[in-house]
Structure 1
C-alpha cells in the first residue's frame, strides 16, 4: 500500500516536485535519483517510480548513461499542478465549479450557501432590461465598435465623482475600465509581477486570489488576519523575510471574514508598506454594501502606493462584467497598453449599461432596498448558525459574509463533503487559507441561506463528526 502524506502519496509528491522543475527549465537535466531522494526525504525506489511514470507521460526524457531530462517541449500550464494537491472539498477551483454548475438545469436543485454572489432574484433584472432596451434605441450608442483605450469616458467621469465622494481624488485619466474585477486583478498582477515573486495575502483571503497568483507563477504568502485587519507584527516580519512585491487584500468588508480595517490599522499598514517598498492592491468590490462608506486604503494613501480595484458584479450584475482599476497616471499608461495587448480593451456595451443604471437612479434605488434586506438576512442567518453551536469571527456591519467557527472537534472539509452529498455547496475554511489553518471555519453567504434545508443539512453533516 502506498504511504499517504499531505498532498497525496509519496510518489505523487515526488512527481509534483519533478513536474515543477521540468516546467521551469524545459530540456534541462533533472536531479539524479539519489540526489532527489535526499532532497525529498524519500527512498530511491519512490523516486525511480516517480521518474518512470513521468517518462511514460512524456514529461521527462530518460537518456541511458546520462540521466533524466525535462521534456524539450513546454507542456501546457496546469493550474491544478501549480500548488499543492488538495482534497476536492478544499480545492478553490472545484468549489467555484460546483457553485456555477447551478446554471446547468440538471444541477438546478443545488443550494449554495458557500457561494460568493447574491441570488438572481435579489438583483435588478428588470432595471437591466430597461437599460439595455434604452441603449438599443439610442442612435449614439456604441453597439458595434471597440471601446476607447481606457474605456467608456462617461462612465470613467462618473466613477471619478463617486470616488471623490469616498475621499479618493482620482480623475478619469487615472481610471482604466476592465471586463470584471477579476480581470482588473489579473492585469495588475501581469503588470507588476514576475514569476517567483512573493505576494502577501490575508490568511484567510478570497480564495481566487491564490489561484490568480498561482496562474501568474507568483508565491502567495499568508498574513494572519484578525478582526481588526492583518496582524501587523507578522506583516512586518514577512516583509523582511520574503521581500514581497505586493500585498493583495480586501480592506472593506473583507472576504471571507466580513471585517473592515479601521483607520488606525490602515495608517500603520501604509507606513509598513512605505518602509518595505511594498505596493498595496485594494480589491474594493463590496464597498457599496455599506450605507456609510469606510475610508479605503487608497483614499488614505492618495494613490501613492495603493492600487484601487472595483466592479459591479456583486451588487448589480455578474453578466455584464464591468470592473475598473484606479492607479497613478503613469501606471495606468502601462496597464492600458497591457489591456490592449491581451484583450483589446473592455466592453462598451457593459460600460454603457452600467453607466445608465448608475446615473438614472436605478442603482441607488436598488441599493436602498438591498442593504436592509441583507441586514435582515445576516441577522437571521447568524441566529440560526449560533443555535447550531457555531460562533462568529466578527459580526459584520454590512455585506453578505459570515465567517463562522465550528464547534470543537469538527473539521469543515468533511462537513462540506457530507453536505454536498445532500445537494448543499458549503465553503470550508481551508479553501480560503494559504496555510490550510482554517479547518474549523466556514464562510456563509447570508443571502443564500434563506432555505431552511441549509441548516438541516448542516446539522446532519456536523452530527456525523
Structure 2
C-alpha cells in the first residue's frame, strides 16, 4: 500500500483513513463489502462525525471506497496481494512472529537460540532414526518409496495414533484420524475448512505466536482471552462469546506454549459447558503433550471429538525433518478435510510414515521420550536457578516441557533486551510476540534445552542492564 500524504499526517482524519485502509490491506474488508457507518466509526474512534465524513470523502476521492446513496460506503479498491510481513499490529520487528521465526531459522552454529521452540539436534535419537531409515530402505516396498499415500494417510500409522489417543482417554477410530505433514498444516487445513474471511477466532493471551500469523493469512479477526495457570479466564471468555460470536478457539491443553501451563479438569468442564450453546469449535493443539510428566485433562476426551478437533505432530519430540502430524475429529469432517488436503497438497510421504510407525511399534519412541522428559526436568531446575540470580522469575513452575515463561526485573522491556542480545548473536523470545493484546512487555519465553553454558546468561545480563531506562539505573546506583 502506498500511503497518501493525508494518511501519513498525524491528524484525526488521517487516523480514520489509516484504520480503514489497514483493514482493507488485512482483508478484513474485501471489495464490495460495506465499511462501518459514519456514526459507528465516530463512536469507535471517539471522533466527530464530521471527521469521519471527511475521511470517507477523501478515501472515495482516492478510489479506495465508493458511496452508495442511502446505503453507506463500500470497498472499491481491488484486493491487494497478501503480504504477511506488513500485517503486524506492532511496528517493532522484535515482537513480530515472522521476524522472530526468520531469526531463529537463519541462526548458525555460532548462535545461541534460547528463544526458539525446539530441542537441540544433540537431544534427538540419532542412532534410532538411522536404524529406522536402514530398515525402510531394506524392507520398504515400491509403494513406500515411490507412491502417494492414501488420502487420509497410511493405515498403519493412523491405527497407531488412534491407540495413542485412547491412552489419553480420547475415544477415536482410524476413520476419525487424518495424517498431515505437520501440526501447522493441520491447523491451516482446519482454518480453510471452517473459516470465512472476517470470522472471529479466539486465542489465549499469551499464545504460540504462529497462531496469530497463520490467522492473518486466513483474514480472521483475532480476539484473545487471558490465560491463567489452569486455563483460559472463563469470565473473559464468556464476554468474548457474547460480544464477538467467535467461530473457533485455538489452544494448548497440555504444556501450553509459551507458559508451560496445563488445563485443569474443572476449567475444561466449564469451558465446554460455556461454549456449547454458541457452537464454538475448539482446536486443541497437543504438539507438546508428549513432554508431560503428569497427563493433563484433554478437551477432546471430555468432548468425544464432537466440537473439539485434536491436532498434533512429532516435529518437536522426534524430528523437524521427518514431517508428520495429524488431525482427529468427527468422521464427516475428516472426510472433508482429507479432500481439502488432497487438492492443496496431494499425497503425503509414505516413507516418513514408515519411519514413524517403526519407531512407535518397537518402543524406541517411548524410550526416547522418557530420556527427554527426565533431561528436561533437570534442565528446568538448573535454568530456573541461574535465571533467579539475574532477577528473572518464572510465572509458574511447569510440570513438563521445555519452556519457562518468566517476568524480567522491573524496568526491563523484553523487546529491547531481545534487540540488544541479538547484536551478540543470541536469539531471545520477548513476551509481546506471544500476546495479541501487547500485555507481556516484561515477559520472556526461555527454552531450557537451548541454555547450556554460561554465554546466554552473560549476554542476557548485559542486555538487561543496558536496556533499562536511565532513571532506573540511577535509582539502583543510589
TM-score range, shorter chain: 0.7 to 0.9
Give the superposition deviation at 1:416.
0.8
What is residue 277 of structure 2 aligned with on the other side? Answer: 275
Q: Secondary structure at the match of 1:382?
A: helix
Q: C-alpha separation between the residues in 2 aligned to 1:376 and 1:191?
A: 42
Map of 1:164 onto structure 2: 166
Map of 1:293 onto structure 2: 295
Determine the structure 2 residue equivalent to 1:323.
325
Does the 8 Å contact 1:377/1:447 carry over to 2? yes
Change (3 A) 1:28 1:348: same
Aligned-residue RMSD, C-alpha = 3.1
| Maintained 8 Å contact 2:94/2:430 | yes
**Could you tell me which residue of structure 2 aligns to residue 128 of structure 1?**
129
Gap runs ≥5 in structure 1: 1-6, 63-67
Larger deviation, residues 90-99 vs 341-350:
341-350
User: How far did 1:235 drift?
Assistant: 0.7
Residue in structure 2 matching 1:84, options 77, 89, 97: 89
SS of the residue 2:153 aligns to: coil
Deviation at 1:83, TM superposition (A): 4.2
Q: Does 1:17 align with 2:17?
A: no
Q: Does 1:447 align with 2:449?
A: yes
2:334 corresponds to which residue?
332
Match of 2:254 among 235, 252, 255: 252
Q: Which runs of 5+ in 2 are unaligned?
A: 1-7, 67-72, 469-478
Match of 2:216 in 1: 214
List aligned pairs for 1:348-359, cutoff 5 A. Answer: 348-359=350-361
Provide Cα deviations, 1:168-210, integer angstroms capped at 9, x if missing partner: 1111110000010000000111111111111111000011111
Q: Distance in 2 between matches of 1:73 and 1:462?
A: 46
How far apart are residue 162 of structure 1 and its match?
A: 1.1
2:308 paired with 1:303: no
TM-score, normalized by length of structure 2? 0.85
Aligned 8 A contact 1:429 1:440 in 2: yes
Question: Matches of 1:309 and 1:81 in 2, distance apart?
Answer: 28
Q: How many residues align?
A: 445
- Name the CA distance, whole Å, in 2 between partners of 1:9 and 1:159: 56
SS in 2 for 1:221: strand
Task: Indicate how the Cα distance of structure 1 residues 371 and 26 shifts in structure 2: closer, same or farther if over 3 A, else same.
Answer: same
| Alpha-carbon distance in 1 for matches of 2:65, 2:193 | 35
TM-score (norm 1): 0.88
Tell me what 2:110 maps to: 109
Q: Report the alpha carbon displacement of residue 17 of structure 1 after superposing the two structures with TM.
A: 3.5
| Residue 296 of structure 1: how far off its partner (Å) | 1.0
Change (3 A) 1:38 1:172: closer
The answer to whether the 8 Å contact 2:390/2:461 transfers is yes
The alpha-carbon deviation at position 457 of structure 1 amounts to: 0.7
